[in-house]
Amino acid sequence: MVSYTNQKSSPIHLENTVLNLSREELNINKAFFTYKEMSLDPIISASMNFLKGLLNRDFKISYHPESTEKEKAVIDALNESLNSLKPYSKRKLLNNVLSMLEYGASLNELTMHRVDNRYVFKNISPIHLTTVNKFRMKRGELLGVTLNKPDNDSLINDVAATQTNIDGSKLLMFTLQGDQDSPLGHSLLKGVWSSWKQKVVVSEYQLVGISKAYGNILSVSVPSSYIESYLNDPSSSEAIYMDHLVQQTELLHSGKSAYVMLPSDIYDGGTRQFEVKPVSETINSDYNANTTINRLNDEMLLALQTSLLSLGNSGSGSFALSESKTNLLSMFCRAIEETISDEFKKAIAVAFDLNGLEDKRIPGLEFEEIEPVDWETVSKYWQRLCQAGAVTPDETLEGHLREIGKAPQADYSKKLDTTPKADATDRLDDRKEL
């Protein structure tokens, strides 16, 4: 007998809508793997790289406004240790922390050591969330984690001795908008999952449509006796001929499912009893999949706070709109920096405790500015204040403005030589002394 291969698809029906699928794919036991798969999308990948590029800037532990000299000395030592972290440099450390944008949280283990009679950071190493078996929490506080054994493969073999249990006092868990409902934070990708899933479905159907459009759907008509022999008597000459015909038909287009075989001699009252027509011949649809995909891309950019990337792509957008979106993006980035600083205070508090300092004046992190200084705005601001008499232009104010502009501080002990050296005939105006 002839063997058959059943091909099944999983189209979107009422019983497995996108919303229902989200309950499975965004389940806490599978969500981290779903986010990893989503990062393969070019729009999501570009957006996440853009955000990380903006946020992955130099930082340091700043002094508390009331820091003592002893505390400042410890802070200086901690900053020096941050610049000498191994194997994770300061940039790699921040990049690991920023994985909370994708996964909602970033888990890191803190280790300390003693250098020059002070306890400083030895390393802050990441722990991937997919390797965590259990989180032990109490009223929002992380008490510890239980890890799975390393999943080594033939290419990468992690030979490091992995602890099964790690106490919460040694862990820094940076979370994005963590709350009681989601103590592990809210991933940015969770908000774009619905648009991403719809885009995947539409894109797959679009590829199917393209393959059918280029490969066409063949209709093969043969006598019913040949079909009967093909099904019931595989050794007959008719069945052998049919087998060759089927193979040749499959070679003419894009696959086994792109043809229909019908009997050519079954009529009733002059009308063919079996007939198959492609839908495109009976239904004229103006649906454009690219329009839907572009709409879903815009939704994902908006949810990821990176709609700035789409300005100008379709010939639309203005400078004012770009400036407005840039300001919103800067506010979002500053909120992320404050979130990182708040959790990092836990590491600073550990260092203060080991060095015998009080925890009343725990400093935070100071990040490098994301946007360059708009000198036109700054100059007009200070000019108007000085003209109104609201501030006094003195050496202190000048020093502050030089610091903003990263200019060298003035040495007022040196007098400027303003004696004109150019010949009067060489100057544009010989009355000016330059």
Q: What single-letter amino acid sits at 34?
A: T
Give the single-character DSSP code of 370.
Answer: S
Q: Is the peptide bond before 87 cis (omega within 30 degrees of 0)?
A: yes
Task: Categorize the per-residue pLDDT at 61 as very low, low, confident or very high, splitting at 50, 70 and 90.
Answer: very high
pLDDT band at 284 (very low <50, low <70, confident <90, very high): very low
Q: Residue 107 — pLDDT band, cuts 50, 70, 90?
A: very high
Cβ atoms 132, 105 nearer than 8 A: no
Residue range 9-40, pLDDT digits in tens: 555 554 457 777 888 888 888 888 899 899 99
Q: Give the rounded percent of residues in the chain with a pLDDT score beyond 90.
A: 21
Q: What are the sequence ranges of the domains in the chain?
A: 19-191+304-371, 196-289, 382-434
**Percent of the chain with pLDDT strictly greater than 70:** 74
325-342: average pLDDT: 86
Higher pLDDT, 293 or 381: 293
What is the average pLDDT value for the chain, to the nearest integer?
Answer: 78
Work out the pLDDT band at 120, boundaries 50, 70, 90. Answer: very high
| pLDDT tens track for 128-161 | 888 888 888 887 788 888 888 766 555 555 555 5
The answer to whether 305 and 331 are in contact (CB under 8 A) is: no
d(CA 377, CA 5): 71
pLDDT, one tens digit per residue, over 395-426 is 787 777 777 777 777 777 776 666 666 565 55
Q: Record the pTM.
A: 0.69
| Mean pLDDT, residues 359-372 taken together | 85
**Residue 314, pLDDT above cutoff 80:** no
What distance in Å separates the CA atoms of residue 163 and residue 148, rounded to the nearest whole number? 9
Lowest-confidence segment of 122-136, 188-202, 246-260, 380-394 by average pLDDT: 246-260
Indicate whether 176 pLDDT > 70: yes
Q: Is the pLDDT of residue 231 over 50?
A: yes
Q: Is the pLDDT of residue 253 over 70?
A: no
**Higher per-residue pLDDT: 209 or 223:** 223
pLDDT of res. 60: 92
Residue 220 token pair: 């093969």
The pLDDT of residue 281 is above 50? no
Lowest-confidence region among 29-33, 169-173, 256-260, 376-380: 256-260
Residue 368 binned pLDDT confidence (cut-offs 50, 70, 90): confident
Q: Are 110 and 127 in contact (CB under 8 A)?
A: no
Chain-centre distance for alpha carbon 282: 44
Whole-number pLDDT of residue 386: 80
Q: Distance between terminal CA atoms of the chain? A: 105
Q: How confident is the model at residue 434 (pLDDT cuts 50, 70, 90)?
A: very low
Are 108 and 96 contacting, i.e. CB atoms less than 8 angstroms apart? Answer: yes
Average pLDDT over residues 297-324: 69
pLDDT of residue 377: 74
Is the confidence at residue 433, as pLDDT, over 60? no
What local confidence, expressed as pLDDT, does residue 274 receive? 56
DSSP string covering 39-101: TTSHHHHHHHHHHHHHH---EEEPPPTT--HHHHHHHHHHHHHHTT-SSS-HHHHHHHHTTHH
Q: Which residues pair with 6 in a beta bridge?
A: none
pLDDT at 4: 47
Q: With 60 as the cut, is the pLDDT of residue 82 above it?
A: yes
Under the banding of pLDDT at 50, 70 and 90, the label for residue 279 is very low
Q: Identify the DSSP state of 368.
A: P
In the predicted model, what is the mean pLDDT of residues 353-364?
91
Kindly tell me if the per-residue pLDDT of 79 is higher than 90.
Answer: yes
User: Measured between alpha carbons, how far is residue 184 from residues 99, 102, 138, 179, 365 in Å?
Assistant: 13, 12, 13, 8, 22
Model pLDDT, residue 387: 80
More reliable by pLDDT, 416 or 385:
385
What backbone torsions phi and psi does residue 121 show, to the nearest 5 degrees? -70, 130
pLDDT at 210 over 60: yes
